[in-house]
Amino acid sequence: MLDNKTIGKAMTIKLGNELPEYPEFDDSKRRAPDRGFRLTKAQTKIALKNALRYVPEELHEKLAPEFMEELTTLGRIYAYRYRPEGRLYGKPIDEYKGKGLAGKAFQVMIDNNLDFEVALYPYELVTYGETGQVCQNWLQYRLIKKYLEELTENQTLVVESGHPLGLFPSKPEAPRVIITNSMMIGMYDNLEDWEVAEEMGVANYGQMTAGGWMYIGPQGIVHGTFNTILNAGRKYLGVSQQGDLEGHTFVSSGLGGMSGAQPKAANIANAVGIFAEVDYSRIVTRHDQGWVDVIMDDIDEIFKLAGEKLAAKESISIAYHGNIVDLLEAAVEKKFHIDLLSDQTSCHNVYNGGYCPVGMTFEERTELLHHDREKFCEEVDKTLHRHYKAIKSLTEEGTYFFDYGNSFMKAMYDAGIKEISKNGYDDKDGFIWPSYVEDIMGPVLFDYGYGPFRWVCLSGKPEDLDLTDQTAMDCIDPNRRAQDRDNWVWIRDAKANKLVVGTQARILYQDAEGRTNIALAFNKLVREGKCGPIMMGRDHHDVSGTDSPFRETSNIKDGSNVMADMAVQCFAGNAARGMSLCALHNGGGVGIGKAINGGFGLLLDGSERTDEIIKSAMMWDVMGGVARRNWARNENALSTSVEYNKNYAGKGHITIPFLADDELVAATVEKFVK
């Protein structure tokens, strides 16, 4: 075995032997709860050694007890000592060190994810979704930054579950960074084994865009929520194609775990919105941002105010400081009509703090989670049963309920509510109420290729964002489809709606050709010196990026909803075509073992080379998913694929399924299967 002196001399990129001063923490910032300590003594030894391998031997004696204190009291080694002092945020790109533009650009993205204004638990590197981390600890953060400062266009940085594996010789046309997170072997791809791996420092929950360095603050989910509730109104409430949700109610819960986007989306859609949240600090954050109009804790007063606004046909977003179950049970009792109902708590992490049992405060929840996890889980299950009963009563009175892709209904099923199963015996065919993708987003948007691509103006200049907003709007024909009209209006009003939290960023739903045209137009702006460089990417929640039977692929009905081929192919294809960053994660918004997510980042540097990457990669990134959805016989994906084969004859071609007659199939099966 080599000695540490030899090992140290073998590296030029490493953490030094100077011990950083322990940083001061701002007590006003939210902190992650104790995640639980469940390692054996043997596993604990490995976990400690895993953390100590980042630092020279002469620091081990000092750091070992600090790391063990964190592990045994918080369930994770965060290496707090290595957090930089003060506020982290996405600074203008020119303020970062680096040998290449990409290395500096990704530093902007990482620091934005950890901004106090953006991150859910900034001191624990959790960006959103209760456990979605940029990386596992501050040792990794510092080392990643060092690597990015050295990264050239002839190298690729590989990051595995937050750990920077190293720089590898590459070429300018290849990705600059490749990231994977929590890619568990199938036998161990479950929450229990993942928690052990995470505690040992070998797994990182990337969520979707946290560990893929592409989170742009909560506006990302505002647009998706806006699209969902608006189209739900059109489908179920008689709202016209040009109308909004005036005179209608939208009720949900969770104002920070998954984003806190619902009240802002409700305001933009002109609805009367009521949103429950047990953590008062999250309510205050959204209220301070102007995303929540009023804060209330009296349910009777809430219903009174909501009724007044409905009568006046005025919009308002009300934050209810309390448990959603109490609110819904009161709505049943008092016959308060709810038009649209959902949930946006972190139910993919339901037994680890993502959902609060009814009858206790947020502080009591945190205490119970820490001291008696078994009891906590029992109370969660009881609450889910009451939650289910309340929703069932409301839907019987005409409420449209949809799962917002947070594993909410799956959590109910796992809690023993088997009657929520659609087929009556398992969860493979979904549940009695639809996922928002199954019912709305899938057929209306994803099957056509529309999804949430996004960009960040790396200069940090608001005027660059203004220019890109106008340029994107100029690329959209609002008369082509209703979807284009909605998104043209969205981008037109984006600045007025004050959506920016953190970096100067925007989200916009567009199809393959739309994204390609906008990306080329942006790259031209950079080339002509009209704005600074731009990082373009998307939410992994998209047409092609994610295989998830309870969310993104919930409208896939050919049995392949349990397969992860699409996400992996999307990731591999993006890497082959030279996207600047390619990411592949396990879990996402629905939980470990329930999804595989592929994402990307593309640095628009103004070069002709980037134009060529846009032309090949952007189309692939979208149409791969449309092709798979078409193969599952999704009607709108079929028509989009037919159009693609016509428009790209000689360049591209999609396999389109022949359709079998339902009566013939039924009659044939009847003869053979009794």
pLDDT digits (tens, 9 = 90+) for 606-638: 999 999 999 999 999 999 999 999 999 999 999
| C-alpha separations of 563 from 425, 548, 553, 559, 594 in Å | 20, 8, 9, 8, 10
pLDDT of res. 352: 87
Burial class (CB in 10 A: 0-12, 13-18, 19+), 670: exposed
What distance in Å separates the CA atoms of residue 548 and residue 207, rounded to the nearest whole number?
A: 13
Three-state SS sequence of 160-184:
ECCEEEEEEECCCCCCCEEEEECCC
Kindly report the average pLDDT of the chain as a whole number. Answer: 96
What distance in Å separates the CA atoms of residue 249 and residue 251, rounded to the nearest whole number?
A: 7
pLDDT of res. 209: 94
Tokens describing residue 250: 């939208």
pLDDT of res. 39: 98
Instruction: Return the minimum-mean-pLDDT range out of 58-62, 581-585, 588-592.
Output: 588-592
Mean pLDDT of 590-600: 95
Place of tokens 């119970």: 368
Phi/psi for 34 (5° steps) reads: -60, 125
Helices marked H in 397-481? 408-414, 436, 442-444, 462-474
Q: Per-residue pLDDT tens for 125-141?
A: 999 999 999 999 999 99
- Rounding to the nearest 10 degrees, give the CA dihedral for residues 457, 458, 460, 461: -50
Q: Checking phi first, is residue 259 left (phi over 0); if not, alpha (psi -120 to 50) or beta?
A: left
pLDDT of res. 260: 78
Mean pLDDT of 217-228: 89
pLDDT of res. 383: 97
What distance in Å separates the CA atoms of residue 579 and residue 297, rounded to the nearest whole number?
A: 48
Eight-state DSSP code of residue 294: E
Q: Per-residue pLDDT tens for 550-573?
A: 899 999 999 999 999 999 999 999
Query: In which band, very low, low, confident or very high, does the pLDDT at 589 lie, cut at 50, 70 and 90?
Result: confident
Confidence check: pLDDT of 348 > 90: no
pLDDT of res. 428: 85
Query: By percentage, how much of the chain surpasses pLDDT 70?
Result: 100
Phi/psi for 164 (5° steps) reads: -75, 100
Write b or e for each residue in 274-298: b if 16 or more Cβ atoms lie within 10 A of its Cβ, otherwise e: bbbbbbbebbbbbbebebbbeebee
Q: Per-residue pLDDT tens for 380-401?
A: 999 999 999 999 999 999 999 9
Distance of CA 256 to the CA centre of its chain: 12
Confidence check: pLDDT of 477 > 90: yes
pLDDT of res. 256: 78
Report which of residues 507 and 349 the model is more confident about: 507
Mean pLDDT of 469-496: 96
105 in Cβ contact with 99 (< 8 Å):
no
Mean pLDDT of 482-506: 95
pLDDT of res. 257: 72
Query: In which band, very low, low, confident or very high, does the pLDDT at 154 lie, cut at 50, 70 and 90?
Result: very high
Confidence check: pLDDT of 492 > 80: yes
Confidence check: pLDDT of 490 > 80: yes
456 in Cβ contact with 534 (< 8 Å):
yes
Burial class (CB in 10 A: 0-12, 13-18, 19+), 335: exposed
3-state secondary structure of 65: helix
pLDDT of res. 406: 82
3-state secondary structure of 1: coil
Closest CA to 352 of 38, 585, 45: 38
Instruction: Return the minimum-mean-pLDDT range out of 326-330, 346-350, 617-621, 660-664.
Output: 346-350
Confidence check: pLDDT of 102 > 90: yes
3-state secondary structure of 71: helix
pTM strictly above 0.85? yes
What distance in Å separates the CA atoms of residue 197 and residue 194, rounded to the nearest whole number?
A: 5
Tokens describing residue 362: 């947020």
pLDDT of res. 335: 97
Query: In which band, very low, low, confident or very high, does the pLDDT at 429 lie, cut at 50, 70 and 90?
Result: confident
What distance in Å separates the CA atoms of residue 53 and residue 136, rounded to the nearest whole number?
A: 14
Distance of CA 212 to the CA centre of its chain: 10
pLDDT of res. 218: 87
pLDDT of res. 362: 93
Confidence check: pLDDT of 588 > 90: no
What distance in Å separates the CA atoms of residue 193 and residue 203, rounded to the nearest whole number?
A: 10
Residue 275: strand pairing partners = 252, 319
Q: Per-residue pLDDT tens for 283-325?
A: 999 999 899 999 999 999 999 999 999 999 999 999 999 999 9
